[in-house]
């Protein structure tokens, strides 16, 4: 089944765009029997000719030269950035010479990673394994827990975030697809001896789930609150419904309550109009850089294709899905800073804060999954003070296949996970975790 789905996706990717893990976005719920077994459904793709969206501004082939990030944080009241549409390809090869080290290997779809206080990695694998890995002896790994997940389609054990006061409370937050299906945020506690973890309590439940578009990214923000990225679960209109948990970035407390200063009173919604985000991080001024997946050409999405995107958003912003996409505009909706006509699609995202490569400081890095091992890469974006993209370039293209999570490590280096074992790339000896630093 995996081989057939990969072939379909490879054939459609360039012309029709694809989502994270498949070309099939059929608007149908998982049958309970299949959900209970946790078995992916093998559905044939539905495609439709792309609609004409009219002329769009293309990204300039020669971006502005690199400049140091501004000392002063940009004004939150700045007008939206001008949307740049990349009509072909993804970007020029990066010019910084980097050294890439394999920190861990032989993994099975490492979806999210973090660090324990002593320097060990903590890793989610999509099949439900929560792992502890010593980077000094990566072959010696401990399975802290086996989370009971529904691994169908893009579901499974996805996001991971450690509480800001983890050293005191040992709390681990997990985003996973539960049997039913429904996506859930659950808090777990690491045992005092560090050899196991057990479930504590559900923090947020009944996030819509389907075969595709489950979102899944978790991050604690600079304000200490938990941010949750969700997908539209195959129902695009839910992204515009602020009473729905689907198609959003949600902001809740570490106990699951709604903060009083959320932009919509009584709602967990922080941003909405999102299709399927797996990556976000914060600029110094508090605005958020968000990546999102573009449509796949299916009838329920109007036959539209491609146009994954990156956007700078402020609290309460509406990113427009499904009403607008690409560089389209509408009142009270935010167009992206950049969108790619050819499907990427984007995984995790992190703003570089290290010192090893000073010319990268303040830039956004995106894990690009791709369809076929030659497309996956690490993508660098630089914004100017107005939020316009002035640098867009690629690293590691084709070197490690599909790349998913991107995070800054405690040592100031960038860490990236591969995702070749998800059935849409080459698995080989298993997925890897990479450390990227200066050569």
pLDDT tens, 51-69? 333 344 333 333 333 333 3
pLDDT tens, 14-47? 334 445 544 433 333 333 333 332 333 222 222 2
| Backbone angle region of 264, left / alpha / beta, with phi > 0 → left and psi within -120 to 50 → alpha | beta
CATH of 2-438, one of 3.10.20.310, 3.60.150.10, 2.120.10.30, 3.30.365.10: 2.120.10.30
pLDDT band for position 372 (cuts 50, 70, 90): confident
pLDDT band for position 371 (cuts 50, 70, 90): confident
Question: Which token pair is 269?
Answer: 């919604």
Q: Is it the case that residue 6 has pLDDT exceeding 90?
A: no
What pLDDT is recorded for position 428? 87
Q: In 2-82, at which residue ranges do the beta strands (DSSP E only) sit?
A: none
What pLDDT is recorded for position 78? 57
Angstrom CA distances, 134 to 104, 168, 407, stand at 9, 21, 17
Phi, psi of 358 (to 5 degrees): -60, -30
Cα-based angle 39, 156, 282 (whole degrees, multiple of 5): 155
Give the residue, 10 or 196, on which the prediction is more confident: 196
Can you give the residue ranges of every domain in the chain? Answer: 2-438
Question: Which token pair is 147?
Answer: 């989370």
Sorted by sequence, the CB contacts under 8 Å of residue 84 that are 6+ apart come out as 57, 58, 59, 60, 327, 337, 338, 339, 388, 389
pTM: 0.85
Q: Is it the case that residue 336 has pLDDT exceeding 80?
A: yes
Mean per-residue pLDDT, 334-360: 97
Sorted by sequence, the CB contacts under 8 Å of residue 167 that are 6+ apart come out as 117
Mean per-residue pLDDT, 218-231: 98
What pLDDT is recorded for position 79? 61
Cα–Cα dist 182/413, whole Å: 35
Cα–Cα dist 377/368, whole Å: 5
Sorted by sequence, the CB contacts under 8 Å of residue 212 that are 6+ apart come out as 19, 20, 21, 22, 24, 25, 153, 154, 231, 233, 234, 276
Give the residue, 334 or 37, on which the prediction is more confident: 334
Give the residue, 383 or 12, on which the prediction is more confident: 383
């Amino acid at each position: 089944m995996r081989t057939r789905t990969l072939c379909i996706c490879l054939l459609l990717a360039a012309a029709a765009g694809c989502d994270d893990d498949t070309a099939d976005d059929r608007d149908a719920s998982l049958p309970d029997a299949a959900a209970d077994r946790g078995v992916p459904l093998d559905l044939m793709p539905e495609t439709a000719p792309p609609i004409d969206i009219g002329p769009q501004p293309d990204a300039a082939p020669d971006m502005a030269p690199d400049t140091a990030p501004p000392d002063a944080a940009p004004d939150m009241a700045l007008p939206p950035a001008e949307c740049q549409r990349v009509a072909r390809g993804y970007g020029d090869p990066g010019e910084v010479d980097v050294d890439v080290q394999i920190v861990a290997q032989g993994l099975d779809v490492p979806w999210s990673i973090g660090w324990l206080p002593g320097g060990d990695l903590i890793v989610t694998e999509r099949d439900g394994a929560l792992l502890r890995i010593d980077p000094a002896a990566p072959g010696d790994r401990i399975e802290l827990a086996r989370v009971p997940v529904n691994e169908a389609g893009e579901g499974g054990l996805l996001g991971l975030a450690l509480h800001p006061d983890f050293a005191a409370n040992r709390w681990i937050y997990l985003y996973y697809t539960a049997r039913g299906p429904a996506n859930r945020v659950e808090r777990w506690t690491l045992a005092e001896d560090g050899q196991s973890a057990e479930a504590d309590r559900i923090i947020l439940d009944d996030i819509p789930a389907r075969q595709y578009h489950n979102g899944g990214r978790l991050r604690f923000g600079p304000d200490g609150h938990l941010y949750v990225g969700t997908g539209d679960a195959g129902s695009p209109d839910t992204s515009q419904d602020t009473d729905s948990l689907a198609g959003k970035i949600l902001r809740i407390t570490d106990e699951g309550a709604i903060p009083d200063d959320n932009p919509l009173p009584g709602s967990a919604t922080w941003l909405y109009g999102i299709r399927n985000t797996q990556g976000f991080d914060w600029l110094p001024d508090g605005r958020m850089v968000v990546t999102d997946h573009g449509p796949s050409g299916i009838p329920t999405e109007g036959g539209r294709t491609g146009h994954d995107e990156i956007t700078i958003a402020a609290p309460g912003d509406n990113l427009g899905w499904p009403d607008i996409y690409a560089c389209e505009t509408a009142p009270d909706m935010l167009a992206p800073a950049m969108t790619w006509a050819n499907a990427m699609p984007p995984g995790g995202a992190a703003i570089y804060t290290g010192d090893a490569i000073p010319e990268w400081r303040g830039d956004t890095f995106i894990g690009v999954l791709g369809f076929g091992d030659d497309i996956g890469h690490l993508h660098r974006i630089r914004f100017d003070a107005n939020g316009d993209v002035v640098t867009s370039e690629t690293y590691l293209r084709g070197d490690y296949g599909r790349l998913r999570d991107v995070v800054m490590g405690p040592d100031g280096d960038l860490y990236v996970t591969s995702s070749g074992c998800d059935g849409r790339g080459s698995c080989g000896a298993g997925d890897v975790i990479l450390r990227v630093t200066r050569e």
